[in-house]
C-alpha cells in the first residue's frame, strides 16, 4: 500500500546537511495498523506528509497504492488525496463556521467530478453511526474534544478511503476519550482500513500491530508487536 525508497527531505530554510528525513526505506502493506513514534522533531509529521502527498518536495520514491506520487500532477494529486486518503489531526482541523454535517461533507465539495450524490445525507448517516445524531446542525466549537475528533474521522472516511493517516489523533484528548478514539481506529482496521498513526503515547502504540521508531530523520526500529 505504501512504499518509500531512499526518501530524503530537507526543508528549504535549513542548512545543507540538516535533513528532516534521511534515506528512509519503508513498506506498509494493506490492512496494517502502524504506529510511528519518536521524540519531538524526529521527522514523524514530515514522513506522514510525504506519504499523504501533502509535501512533494523530497528526493527518492514515494508510492501509495501503486502510484508514484512524484508522477502525479497537482490536480491529480489533490484528487487522489481527497478520494483515497483520510487525514486525522491532533487539533481536528474542523471549520467552526460550518455545521458538523457540512464539515463531514467537505470532501464532496473538493471532489473533482463534483457529482457526489446526497453528500449531506451521507454525512448525517456517518455522524449518526458515530453517536452524533443529535449534533448534525451544531458548529464544532459547541462539541467536546472527543466529539470533534469523531466528526473529523467521519470526514476522513467520507469517500471510504483505504488509507487513514493520523497525526497525534489523541494528543488533545483526555485518557478515556483517547481510548475511545483508539478503539475506533482498531475497529476500522478490522474492517480493512490501513491506518498509520503518529503518537507520543504508549497506549496508542500498544494498540498497533507494528511500531516504527524514528530518530533524527531515520527509521531506527521497525518492530511487529504480537498483541493477539
Ligand atoms: N516547515 C518547516 N520548515 C522548516 N523546518 C521544519 C518544518 N517542519 C519541520 N521542520 C523540521 O524538520 C524536523 C522534523 O520535524 P517534524 O515536524 O517532522 O517532527 P515531528 O517528529 O513530527 O515532531 P513533533 O513530535 O514535535 O510533532 C525538525 O527538525 C523540524 O524543526
Ligand atoms: Mg509532528
For the chain, the structural domain boundaries read 2-224
* CA 205 to ligand 2 center in whole angstroms: 15
Chain position carrying cell 501509495? 64
Q: pLDDT tens, 56-93?
A: 999 999 999 999 999 999 999 999 999 999 999 999 99
Residue 191, pLDDT > 70, answer yes
For residue 84, give the nearest of 32, 198, 162 by alpha carbon. 162
Query: How high is the pLDDT of residue 116?
Result: 85
* CA 19 to ligand 1 center in whole angstroms: 10
Q: Under a CB-based contact definition with an 8 Å cutoff, are residues 58 and 7 in contact?
A: yes
Strand partners, 12: none
* CA 11 to ligand 1 center in whole angstroms: 9
Query: How high is the pLDDT of residue 226?
Result: 60
Query: How high is the pLDDT of residue 195?
Result: 98
Which of the four pLDDT bands, split at 50, 70 and 90, describes residue 227?
low
User: Helices 145-156 and 175-190, interaxial angle, to 10°?
Assistant: 20
Q: Which of 12, 17, 20, 167 to mutate for ligand 1's pocket (most ligand atoms within 8 Å of CB)?
A: 20
What residue ranges line ligand 1, CB within 6 angstroms? 11, 13-14, 20, 38, 40-46
* CA 196 to ligand 1 center in whole angstroms: 18
* CA 44 to ligand 2 center in whole angstroms: 5
Q: Under a CB-based contact definition with an 8 Å cutoff, are residues 183 and 189 in contact?
A: no
Residue of the CA atom closest to atom 7 of ligand 1: 11
Query: How high is the pLDDT of residue 222?
Result: 93
- In this prediction, residues 16-43 reach a mean pLDDT of 95
Residue of the CA atom closest to atom 14 of ligand 1: 43
136: Cα separation from own chain's centroid: 23
Residue of the CA atom closest to atom 26 of ligand 1: 40
Q: Indicate the Cα dihedral angle 150, 154, 155, 156, nearest 10°.
A: 100
Query: Of the bound ligands, which one is closest to the alpha carbon of residue 89?
Result: 2
> In the structure grid, which three cell numbers stand for residue 221, read together?
526500529
For residue 212, give the nearest of 58, 33, 89 by alpha carbon. 33
Q: What single-letter DSSP state applies at residue 88? A: E
Q: Under a CB-based contact definition with an 8 Å cutoff, are residues 10 and 20 in contact?
A: yes
pTM confidence score:
0.95
Q: Which of 7, 8, 11 to mutate for ligand 1's pocket (most ligand atoms within 8 Å of CB)?
A: 11
Residue of the CA atom closest to atom 11 of ligand 1: 20
Q: Which of 16, 38, 41, 48 to mutate for ligand 1's pocket (most ligand atoms within 8 Å of CB)?
A: 41
Residue range 2-224 in CATH 3.40.1160.10: no
Query: Of the bound ligands, which one is closest to the alpha carbon of residue 12?
Result: 1
For residue 34, give the nearest of 219, 182, 207 by alpha carbon. 207
Q: Is the Cα torsion angle 117, 121, 123, 126 positive or negative in sign?
A: negative
Amino acid at each position: 500500500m505504501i512504499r518509500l525508497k531512499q526518501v530524503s527531505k530537507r526543508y528549504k530554510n535549513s542548512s545543507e546537511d540538516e535533513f528532516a528525513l534521511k534515506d528512509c526505506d519503508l513498506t506498509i502493506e494493506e490492512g496494517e495498523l502502524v504506529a510511528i513514534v519518536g521524540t519531538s522533531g524526529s521527522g514523524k509529521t514530515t514522513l506522514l506528509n510525504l506519504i499523504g502527498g501533502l509535501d512533494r518536495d523530497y528526493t527518492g520514491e514515494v508510492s501509495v497504492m501503486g502510484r508514484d506520487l512524484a508522477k502525479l500532477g497537482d490536480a491529480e494529486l489533490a484528487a487522489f488525496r481527497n478520494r483515497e486518503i483520510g487525514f486525522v489531526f491532533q487539533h481536528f482541523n474542523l471549520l467552526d463556521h460550518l455545521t458538523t454535517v457540512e464539515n463531514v461533507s467537505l470532501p464532496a465539495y473538493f471532489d473533482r467530478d463534483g457529482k457526489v450524490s446526497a453528500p449531506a445525507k451521507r454525512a448525517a448517516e456517518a455522524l449518526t453511526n458515530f453517536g452524533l445524531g443529535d449534533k448534525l446542525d451544531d458548529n464544532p466549537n459547541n462539541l467536546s474534544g472527543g466529539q470533534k475528533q469523531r466528526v473529523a474521522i467521519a470526514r476522513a472516511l467520507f469517500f471510504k478511503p483505504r488509507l487513514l493517516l493520523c497525526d497525534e489523533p489523541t494528543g488533545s484528548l483526555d485518557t478515556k476519550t483517547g481510548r475511545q478514539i483508539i478503539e475506533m481506529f482498531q475497529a476500522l482496521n478490522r474492517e480493512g482500513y490501513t491506518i498509520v498513526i503518529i503518537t507520543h503515547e504508549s497506549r496508542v502504540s500498544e494498540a498497533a500491530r507494528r511500531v516504527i521508531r524514528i530518530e533524527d530523520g531515520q527509521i531506527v526500529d521497525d518492530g511487529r508487536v504480537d498483541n493477539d
